[in-house]
Chain A
Amino acid sequence: EPEVTQTPSHQVTQMGQEVILRCVPISNHLYFYWYRQILGQKVEFLVSFYNNEISEKSEIFDDQFSVERPDGSNFTLKIRSTKLEDSAMYFCASDPTGDTQYFGPGTRLTVL
């Protein structure tokens, strides 16, 4: 059964550095999402992406964040200048028709 994959599984970076988190959604899915979960807190929505554009974004998703789907397969989340508070587990999800989201295993981002 196809699954959403994410790389790397763990990323450690220095504050102020740029990071790119990568996701390969399930083939033929049309809706794509990023969520994050700070340790001990709820899973929070960051951004949704459909038809090659952002369809919705949360207050968290400020100018430091961007998403891309450059080649029709990868779906990336970039954080331009990481802050300590960006340390979290980042989950990618994809959805074939808009009614069931399938999650990746997550990338643990640690900002030092």
Chain B
Amino acid sequence: AQRVTQPEKLLSVFKGAPVELKCNYSYSGSPELFWYVQYSRQRLQLLLRHISRESIKGFTADLNKGETSFHLKKPFAQEEDSAMYYCALSRAAGNKLTFGGGTRVLVKP
């Protein structure tokens, strides 16, 4: 069975400070990992996926298979980054997403 763990429920940082959201997973195969973001009163939106290895809104995430982690990082947080962030795993294309519990990020001015 697959499992995703986000150990921090809340991260509070000042504007301009770095932010790192932790995500650990357990799955015996080669999963696909995603970060979704949910801004206040909005829908879940895909932020990035490990396969595309891109940077979106200044965020990056690296899949570390040895540590089974997919931490999300941004070097300089902005107030508009305040949102709920969910790490998710899929076994393969077309499969369900298994979500972590989410981390609320609050960027203070």
Known: A42-B102, A43-B86. A48 touches B43 (CB 8 A): no
- Distance in angstroms between the alpha carbons of A100 and B101 in the assembled complex: 20
Instruction: Check B93–A48 contact: CB distance below 8 A.
Output: no
- Distance in angstroms between the alpha carbons of A4 and B100 in the assembled complex: 22
Stretch at the interface among B23-31, B44-52, B66-74: B44-52
Contact partner, A98, options B51, B94, B99, Cβ 8 Å: B94
Contact partner, A104, options B36, B43, B95, B96, Cβ 8 Å: B43
Interface residues of B in 55-109 (CB under 8 A from A): 86, 93-102
Query: What total of chain B residues lie within 8 Å of the partner, measured CB to CB?
Result: 20
What string of 1s and 0s marks CB contacts (under 8 Å) between A47-66 and chain B? 01010000110100000000
Q: Which residues of A contact B (CB under 8 A)?
A: 3-4, 31, 33, 35, 41-45, 48, 50, 55-56, 58, 91, 95, 97-106
Known: A101-B46, A103-B44, A104-B43. A48 touches B102 (CB 8 A): no
**B20 contacts A by Cβ under 8 Å:** no
- Distance in angstroms between the alpha carbons of A21 and B43 in the assembled complex: 17
Instruction: Check B46–A43 contact: CB distance below 8 A.
Output: no
Known: A42-B99, A43-B99, A99-B32. A55 touches B49 (CB 8 A): no
Residues of A within 8 A of B99 (CB): 42-44
Residues of A within 8 A of B51 (CB): 99
Given A42-B102, A43-B97; 17 other pairs, CB 8 A cutoff: A4-B43, A31-B94, A33-B97, A42-B99, A43-B86, A43-B99, A45-B98, A50-B94, A56-B95, A91-B44, A99-B32, A100-B46, A101-B97, A103-B43, A103-B45, A105-B43, A106-B43
- Distance in angstroms between the alpha carbons of A45 and B43 in the assembled complex: 16
